[in-house]
Amino acid sequence: MTSVKLAIIYYSSTGTNYQLAQWAEQGAKEAGAEVRLRKVHELAPEAAIAQNAGWKAHVEATKDVQEASSEDIEWADAIIFSTPTRFGNVASQMKQFLDTQGGLWASGKTVNKVVSAMTAASNPHGGHEATILALYTSMMHWGAIIVPPGYTDQVLFSAGGNPYGTSVTQGQDGKMVEDVEAAVKHQAKRTIEIASKIVG
């Protein structure tokens, strides 16, 4: 069987979505995938980042993580996106990355990519589902094949039961409220499983 090529593309300001992306990477590798972990370009001004100790620390800690490019999209059989929610939508950094893929889209190179998405917010009803659905709307325009976790494993219930994609609440202390590691790994493995059927 051909090894699935998976791009995990994330944006994270203080580290929650980066952790989700790392767990997805672990799950995908356990499933035998070839993985690229990539962050999208930071758009926020340095002055804004400097005012938030957690944000500044995370930027410094992930300075060596390679930035995502159109080549990563073209290379991948499957893509897992992870983004914070911003007023019920994807973060502007992720949105800009998606918006700059018009060339790939126009040449048909986004068609039949297998995609799945994850998110985080600072409260339980802060736009988790809306953010993932907003990202999936773009994926429909891409002609991608959306693979949500649904309720395909019991681990999803203990993680909050989001059928669209794993989501987590980040508490005021900066830590995750729900235990979602197993759900993220399951979602990654399910994405690889479906992609392997398409790649052949």
Q: pLDDT tens-digit profile of 25-55?
A: 999 999 999 999 999 999 999 999 999 999 9
Residue reference for tokens 């499983």: 193
**Given this model, what pLDDT does residue 172 score?**
85
CATH number of the domain at 5-199, out of 3.40.50.11890, 3.20.19.10, 3.40.220.10, 3.40.50.360? 3.40.50.360
Contact yes or no for 33/26 (Cβ under 8 A): no
Q: Which of 27-41, 93-107, 165-179 comes out lowest in average pLDDT?
A: 165-179
**Given this model, what pLDDT does residue 174 score?**
84
**Given this model, what pLDDT does residue 103 score?**
97
pTM given for the model: 0.96
- Dihedrals phi, psi of 24, to nearest 5 degrees: -65, -40
Domain residue extents for the chain:
5-199
Q: What is the pLDDT of residues 115-140, one digit of tens each?
A: 999 999 999 889 999 999 999 999 99
Q: Give 171's DSSP letter.
A: P
Contact yes or no for 4/33 (Cβ under 8 A): yes
